[in-house]
């Protein structure tokens, strides 16, 4: 029996998981007859709910700046290297019983090679790129959860200067680690990373495991971070699917946005496309491509793999951009951040002093202290938990 083609795998995945199309846009032949509806899974809680508020939900960053070009205008497209026109791609890009498996593999290889070439000058853009120490990779990936790479870069180098090895981090008091996390936000990640270091020393001999399943058992490590660490640090052939990578996989191979697929189905497509010869480069390249080019409103004119993208070939319309988190100004997140910032400077303080120093009402300071205590960020005396102005609070040790 001939090996099933990648195109046929896409059709099978779509048939199992794609929800009914309500936008009435042109349909790819692979998706004909698909009418089933799914519930779209959310991110794993360990990967995204690491802010100061357990209810915080990560939302893909979209700055809406002037460098975001409008969606496709329906005309043809030819990349700067003279690649295929978008509609020419659509003409030959059809799955049927006679489709040549060698041609499909050739297309996959061409996409991968174009992706590699685009990423090559970006390989050393950030200080963690090319790191061979699994501990350094782990630190960078935790820092990059919900924080822009440009903010992470200086903090990453300072952090590793202070905690050079996982043993250094495991020995450090938690309040020191939280102080070292200044500027990155979502301070619960500092607590999780501190707990992870201690678990690695106590349970893994001070070594970061290469098995994604073992990595997922560590505090604050979800499916995405585990896959990223396994791939980047050890070369494990596993796809690291964050919001950006899922978007690219869905658009390139099925001509749809990721919201229309079950997460498991997108993972299956990604694993089929994964460059098993160099999974670290493949993962990092797609992460960068999703951040810079294939955003919610894509910049297709700058995309190195536009010549093989079904989303472009079909003139598909991007899904509406989800709303970001609520306003930060005056939010409970701002109050918690202000409390942590005050305790970083003073070490220990009373509720009254924190309220006067931050300008927030004492009742909001008390509520923030209670949630921070539950998250392991602060320690509070019984008087503080009772809301007494003289009650003392300090960073957890």
Span 82-91, mean pLDDT?
33
Backbone angles phi, psi at 75, to 5 degrees: -85, 180
Looking at domain 6-39+70-123+240-313, does it have CATH number 1.10.1670.10? yes
d(CA 308, CA 292): 18
d(CA 45, CA 9): 29
In sign, the C-alpha dihedral spanning 59, 63, 67, 71 is: positive
Q: Where are the domains of the chain?
A: 6-39+70-123+240-313, 134-234, 332-395
Please give the share of the chain, as a percent, with pLDDT higher than 90: 64
d(CA 138, CA 163): 13
In which region does residue 296 sit, left (phi positive, over 0), alpha (psi from -120 to 50) or beta (all else)? alpha
Two tokens, residue 304: 């190195």
Q: Answer whether residue 363 shows pLDDT above 50.
A: yes
- In the set 52, 141, 268, 379, the catalytic residue is 141
d(CA 236, CA 212): 9
SS3 27: coil
Provide the pairing of β-strand 392-395 with 378-380.
antiparallel
Residue-wise DSSP of 84-107: --HHHHHHH----TT--HHHHHHH
For the segment 337-347, what is each residue's pLDDT rounded down to a tens digit?
999 999 999 88
Do 387 and 380 form a contact (C-beta atoms < 8 A)?
A: no
Q: Answer whether residue 153 shows pLDDT above 80.
A: yes
SS3 349: strand
For the segment 370-397, what is each residue's pLDDT rounded down to a tens digit?
999 999 999 999 999 999 999 999 999 8
For the segment 238-291, what is each residue's pLDDT rounded down to a tens digit?
999 999 999 999 999 999 999 998 899 999 999 999 999 999 999 999 999 999
SS3 131: coil
Q: Find all residues with CB under 8 Å of 103, minimum gap 6, and list them.
A: none
Backbone angles phi, psi at 350, to 5 degrees: -90, 160
d(CA 30, CA 105): 17
**Which fold, 332-395?**
Arc Repressor Mutant, subunit A (1.10.10)
Confidence band (pLDDT; 50, 70, 90) for 36?
Answer: very low
Q: Answer whether residue 360 shows pLDDT above 50.
A: yes
CATH superfamily of 134-234: Hypothetical protein; domain 2 (1.10.340.30)
For the segment 177-209, what is each residue's pLDDT rounded down to a tens digit?
999 999 999 999 999 999 999 999 999 999 999
SS3 235: coil
Backbone angles phi, psi at 163, to 5 degrees: -120, 80
Q: Residue 199 is inside which H or E element, if any?
A: helix 188-203
Q: Answer whether residue 112 shows pLDDT above 50.
A: yes
Question: What does DSSP assign to residue 48?
Answer: H
Do 182 and 84 form a contact (C-beta atoms < 8 A)?
A: no
Q: Find all residues with CB under 8 Å of 169, minimum gap 6, and list them.
A: 163, 177, 193, 194, 197
Beta-carbon count within 10 A of 24 CB: 7
d(CA 266, CA 286): 14
* CA nearest to 194, candidates 150, 157, 162: 162
Query: What is the pLDDT at residue 364?
Result: 94
Do 369 and 352 form a contact (C-beta atoms < 8 A)?
A: no
Strand order from edge to edge, sheet including 378-380? 348-350, 392-395, 378-380
d(CA 367, CA 370): 5
* CA nearest to 185, candidates 139, 148, 222, 159: 148
Q: Is 141 a catalytic residue?
A: yes
Query: What is the pLDDT at residue 367?
Result: 94
């Amino acid at each position: 029996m001939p090996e099933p083609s990648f195109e046929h795998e896409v059709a099978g995945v779509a048939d199992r998981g794609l929800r009914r199309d309500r936008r009435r846009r042109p349909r790819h032949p692979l998706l004909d007859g698909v009418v089933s509806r799914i519930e779209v899974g959310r991110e794993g809680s360990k990967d995204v709910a690491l802010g100061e508020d357990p209810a915080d939900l990560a939302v893909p960053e979209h700055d809406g700046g002037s460098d975001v070009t409008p969606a496709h205008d329906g005309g043809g497209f030819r990349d700067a290297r003279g690649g295929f026109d978008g509609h020419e791609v659509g003409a030959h890009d059809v799955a049927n019983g006679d489709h040549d498996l060698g041609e499909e593999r050739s297309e996959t290889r061409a996409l991968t090679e174009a992706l590699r070439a685009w990423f090559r000058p970006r390989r050393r853009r950030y200080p963690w790129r090319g790191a061979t120490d699994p501990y350094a990779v782990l630190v960078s990936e935790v820092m990059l959860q919900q924080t822009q790479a440009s903010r992470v870069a200086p903090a990453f180098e300072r952090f590793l200067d202070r905690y050079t090895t996982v043993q250094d981090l495991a020995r450090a008091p938690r309040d020191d680690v939280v102080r070292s996390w200044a500027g990155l936000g979502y301070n619960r990640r500092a607590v999780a990373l501190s707990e992870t270091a201690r678990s690695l020393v106590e349970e893994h001999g001070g070594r970061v495991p290469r098995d994604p399943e073992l990595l997922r058992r560590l505090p604050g490590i979800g499916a995405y971070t585990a896959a990223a660490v396994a791939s980047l640090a050890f070369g494990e052939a596993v796809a690291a699917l964050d919001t950006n990578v899922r978007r690219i996989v869905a658009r390139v191979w099925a001509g749809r946005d990721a919201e229309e697929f079950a997460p498991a189905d997108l993972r299956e497509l990604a694993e089929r496309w994964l460059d098993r010869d160099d999974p670290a480069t493949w993962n990092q390249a797609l992460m960068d491509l999703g951040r810079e080019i294939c955003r919610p409103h894509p910049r297709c004119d700058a995309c190195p793999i536009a010549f093989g993208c079904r989303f472009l070939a079909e003139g598909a319309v991007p899904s509406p951009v989800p709303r970001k988190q609520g306003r930060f100004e005056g939010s409970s997140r701002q109050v918690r951040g202000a409390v942590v910032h005050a305790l970083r400077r003073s070490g220990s303080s009373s509720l009254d002093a924190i309220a006067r120093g931050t300008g927030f009402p004492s009742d909001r300071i008390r509520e923030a202290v209670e949630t921070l205590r539950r998250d392991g960020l602060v320690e509070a005396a019984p008087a503080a938990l009772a809301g007494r102005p003289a009650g003392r609070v300090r960073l957890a040790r």
